[in-house]
Structure 1
């Protein structure tokens, strides 16, 4: 284990240059459902077969959905996973731009009536996209709002106020391209907000249509609107980066076959599902089920894969009767940054993020340092099922970074320390670690102004990351 100073620029310590530096990975988050629409949670990597542009792929890392009771916390022990179930966040977007005038009032009143019937508003948020392209929060995305279970009960007052004010606005005669820009920007803005939350993230998009505009730079394109339209690559890359699925929802109104196809393709582009004229409560429950049956799969398609083109991905499940819901194509945008720079960017995001990330489970128990020294002793346990531990010759090895950072109540303080961890486990140790977590301990001196400490774990093989923040004063 080596210890170095980590500057905010993450400059030339040389430590990151020694990392495995993986190439860009394709990450898929399939939801597995049985014939009755119930989550299937016991699949293995061998049950999945992946073909990317006719090329069979080898799964590099595979993570099952978490559906076990959370382990009880000891005194002064903290975790980035307060529940044993994969978390989930959903934002409902009422899109006035993409609702026909004749349908807008009916959808408004239907949603007004249905939202108070939700079983819980926990981790559910609500926005209106008005005719001017502004996102208006009814129940805004924020960590404090996540635990509010009862907000749907009083939503009608705020929703009606926004809708009445927005309905008085006369929609300017905007072209189709401007309509596309406003729609995609709203979806991307919501995705960027959801990215701060752990687990699965969905936008339930209430709309009765989708306008598209052919890309003039592709005059001979013979694909569908995803491959041939303006701004779709940017939308696809943004939603994939933020791990957000869009679930189109035609609540009230008639949908033509062409619109039905477009909405289906939006869902398949992002890993969502198209819902049509179904009860709001049932739809929200079904969207939430995606977290229960959601898997994570990483594969490395190779450096020649990233060619600025759309790629189709075909994923099948070997188990009969299992249906998979996932994105079926992605835009292979090249990333010109060196692999080390990509890793630095992930570390910086976790370092500066206002909330903890939970792609890797992290538990930390703290105790005082001896002789009254300022600081804490850290007893850290990492969930090994979230790591890529390679087996060779009967031994299991991995490569991790651990950052330990002092923080004020709102932001990082000073420079964190970086620990380079290279666990090597025997078969017996591997069994024990899988049961109890991958352990390591570290003394961390704190500054006088530090009120919190954040521990960040990054898997050097996959760039997956997790963090846990706790008070020290």
Structure 2
């Protein structure tokens, strides 16, 4: 007997027990029961009065939720109107994924906003104070501006914040994110400025050292955040690290291959950690090379194209879909603009095509079926050849 028939059998048995108990309480004889005709459902209800059993409709079974697995490439997407305000209410059919000029199917889609579904865990803001690359005389000013940001609204932060300090002795992490801005501001106020041991007197060696330490710090942060769920906004407060020129005698093949491996690894881990990078900078006077980073925005498709400049801060900002703000002395305003990106975003995924070779670069473009909008997300990825 199936489960459904067994259930009916048990219900029938329980009903007869209830009838027998009712008869016993009323003093009826078994013979009288045998002579009576069975009552209809309506009659039974009339005989037992308004307190008797009432027939009700069985609710329809709940529909099973359809779980669609995410694609291999997952993207966080920010959509803004012409005034820079977030665009909400978009549906999956409003998005078109273009991978190397070919459309790809959206496999999963989620929309998040302050007024709708909120992400769980909430978007984390990673606030990095870069004392390694800041001029010594600016450290105090930057520290004060970060403190002012944290103490806004009575210290009640809209997003959980993690503080990181980069200096010539390494990086120091806040143990866990917090929405208590006053507590974090107290930590910031305790940061003492000091003259870096890596200074202009070191010449080119000093630039190389700052570049290596900064790029390594970025990788360490991304590797650490990749172990944690949720989306992150990494706001780098400082001018960024030096953009090293190609050596006069060029790069050796070994150096180029190492640079290429670093570019691929950092691109991958930043995307998988769900990090958008932001550049926030104070005014520093004349900046003749402020736009030099644009020379490195072209995709690095082979190791022969790889240079140190491909790992520059503003290049990573552009590739992850973040913002480049400043330089100006309203750091509080700059940071607030960055944090606004947490208020509304979309999460989509797709499967990449089969790669012809390892580390095959793919250009990405997300097109939204709305006029006058700007879309920010990862600009590309490195595809892997299928395992045989």
Indicate whether the TM-score tops 0.5.
Answer: yes
CA drift of 1:53 comes to: 1.2
Q: How does 1:357-372 map to 2 (within 5 A)?
A: none
Q: Which residue of 2 aligns with 1:127?
A: 164
- 2:386 and 2:282 mapped to 1: Cα distance? 39
1:267 and 2:317 correspond: yes
CA drift of 1:45 comes to: 1.6
CA drift of 1:270 comes to: 1.7
Q: Which residue of 1 aligns with 2:365?
A: 314
- 1:60 and 1:288 mapped to 2: Cα distance? 28
Aligned match for 1:235, one of 240, 263, 266: 266
> Unpaired runs of 5+ in structure 2?
1-66, 295-311
* Range 201-210 or range 293-302, more displaced: 201-210
| Contact kept in structure 2, 1:306 and 1:334, CA below 8 Å | yes
Structure-2 change in CA distance of 1:218 and 1:50 (3 Å): farther
- 2:277 and 2:357 mapped to 1: Cα distance? 24
Q: Deviations over 1:67-102 (max 9, x none)?
A: 3468xxxxxxxxxxxx67871111222223434xxx
- 2:112 and 2:68 mapped to 1: Cα distance? 26
Aligned match for 1:90, one of 108, 125, 128: 125
| Contact kept in structure 2, 1:248 and 1:275, CA below 8 Å | yes
Q: Which residue of 2 aligns with 1:136?
A: 172
- 1:266 and 1:112 mapped to 2: Cα distance? 24
CA drift of 1:275 comes to: 1.2
Structure-2 change in CA distance of 1:305 and 1:63 (3 Å): farther
1:30 and 2:77 correspond: yes
Higher helix proportion (structure 1 or 2):
2
- 2:95 and 2:358 mapped to 1: Cα distance? 25
Q: How many pairs align?
A: 288
- 4+ runs deviating over 3 angstroms: 20-24, 66-70, 83-86, 96-99, 168-181, 192-199, 209-221, 227-230, 257-260, 333-336
Larger radius of gyration between Structure 1 and Structure 2: 2
Q: Which residue of 1 aligns with 2:137?
A: 105
Q: Deviations over 1:303-334 (max 9, x none)?
A: 32663132211222220122111121222245
Q: Deviations over 1:163-192 (max 9, x none)?
A: 23xx25355954665544322221122233
| Contact kept in structure 2, 1:305 and 1:332, CA below 8 Å | no
Structure-2 change in CA distance of 1:69 and 1:129 (3 Å): same
Structure-2 change in CA distance of 1:193 and 1:228 (3 Å): closer
- 1:21 and 1:284 mapped to 2: Cα distance? 36
Q: Counterpart of 1:208 in 2: which secondary structure?
A: coil
CA drift of 1:335 comes to: 7.2
Q: Counterpart of 1:247 in 2: which secondary structure?
A: strand
* Range 243-252 or range 151-160, more displaced: 151-160
| Contact kept in structure 2, 1:237 and 1:331, CA below 8 Å | yes
Structure-2 change in CA distance of 1:55 and 1:178 (3 Å): farther
Structure-2 change in CA distance of 1:288 and 1:195 (3 Å): farther
> Unpaired runs of 5+ in structure 1?
1-19, 71-82, 222-226, 339-473
Q: Deviations over 1:113-132 (max 9, x none)?
A: 21222224451222221124
Q: Counterpart of 1:330 in 2: which secondary structure?
A: strand
Q: Which residue of 2 aligns with 1:282?
A: 333
Q: Which residue of 1 aligns with 2:239?
A: 208
Q: Counterpart of 2:220 in 1: which secondary structure?
A: helix
Structure-2 change in CA distance of 1:218 and 1:45 (3 Å): farther
Q: Counterpart of 2:381 in 1: which secondary structure?
A: strand
Structure-2 change in CA distance of 1:295 and 1:105 (3 Å): same
CA drift of 1:44 comes to: 1.3
Q: Which residue of 1 aligns with 2:109?
A: 62
- 1:21 and 1:297 mapped to 2: Cα distance? 12
Q: Deviations over 1:402-451 (max 9, x none)?
A: xxxxxxxxxxxxxxxxxxxxxxxxxxxxxxxxxxxxxxxxxxxxxxxxxx
Using structure 1 for the length normalisation, give the TM-score: 0.53
Using structure 2 for the length normalisation, give the TM-score: 0.64
1:158 and 2:190 correspond: yes
